[in-house]
Structure 1
């Protein structure tokens, strides 16, 4: 079995990752997804990586290096998803561990993320398997209403 983590930098690679990402971001169609990834990549330094097992994308992560007064220099994980047929194989953990190492190697102090209130399995994964601390709530106001 061959396994590798690869940075996705082209529209074709982003397109190849869409079937997995769509499982997390169900509201997106391909065109909207590509437009958002392109804009985030160009304007916010959004990075996307995929975990490949035997040449197939099984997990995808998207993150942004950031600096804030609260966290200092940190990585914000925007997206992390493993193909539902491949869950519980450790792929998500391997991929986020890769990002932890990337962050350390690039002199970032921490990695942070938010997770929807309904995603209780994900919360257990972050807290119990990855030793993340629950440090805040995230609030959102929709301005289009």
Structure 2
């Protein structure tokens, strides 16, 4: 049986090691843009990235950040959650969300929230049925370029 571990990714090399998995979710990013964004978010926005490893292989990645708003109070926002395409439906997303939930509790954050693209029906079933998340709002976006 393979041992699964969660590792926070902090150095540039660690962050780069997760690119091939994260690219499956953030297909618009090349390696350089990905690294620039993660480093900037870690430095300025308290962004954290963690990988689920089976042995030394990254099988899933989560990116999250602690936030405070008037609506949610102190909460953790899950920015990114992806399991490697060949490793899906093995409970890896659940393990990483449990890691985020535990991190939030340990750091006195009262809830965890995320958004998910409208087209991702399977992900929505996972969040609602498996993880107990509730739909609480729509997210709206406008491009300023």
Q: TM-score range by the shorter chain?
A: over 0.9
Report deviation, 1:2. 1.4
Kept in 2: contact 1:2–1:55 (CA 8 A) = no
Report deviation, 1:55. 1.4
Report deviation, 1:137. 0.1
1:61 matched to 2:62:
yes
Aligned residues: 144
Task: Please state whether the residue corresponding to 1:48 is helix, strand or coil.
Answer: strand
CA distance in 1, matches of 2:55, 2:77: 28
Instruction: Name 2:37's counterpart in structure 1.
Output: 36
| Aligned pairs (5 A) from 1:13-32 | 13-32=14-33
Report deviation, 1:80. 0.2
Structure 1 residue runs of 4 or more that deviate by more than 4 Å after TM superposition: none
Kept in 2: contact 1:48–1:63 (CA 8 A) = yes
TM-score, length basis structure 2: 0.98
Report deviation, 1:86. 0.2
Instruction: Name 1:103's counterpart in structure 2.
Output: 104
Instruction: Name 2:143's counterpart in structure 1.
Output: 142
Instruction: Name 1:47's counterpart in structure 2.
Output: 48
1:85 matched to 2:86:
yes
Task: Please state whether the residue corresponding to 2:94 is helix, strand or coil.
Answer: helix
Residues 70-124 of structure 1, C-alpha deviations (whole Å, 9 max, x = no match):
0000000000000010000101100110110110010000000000000000000
Instruction: Name 1:71's counterpart in structure 2.
Output: 72
Q: Which runs of 5+ in 2 are unaligned?
A: none
Instruction: Name 2:116's counterpart in structure 1.
Output: 115
TM-score, length basis structure 1: 0.98
CA distance in 1, matches of 2:55, 2:14: 16
CA distance in 2, matches of 1:54, 1:85: 16
Task: Please state whether the residue corresponding to 2:28 is helix, strand or coil.
Answer: coil
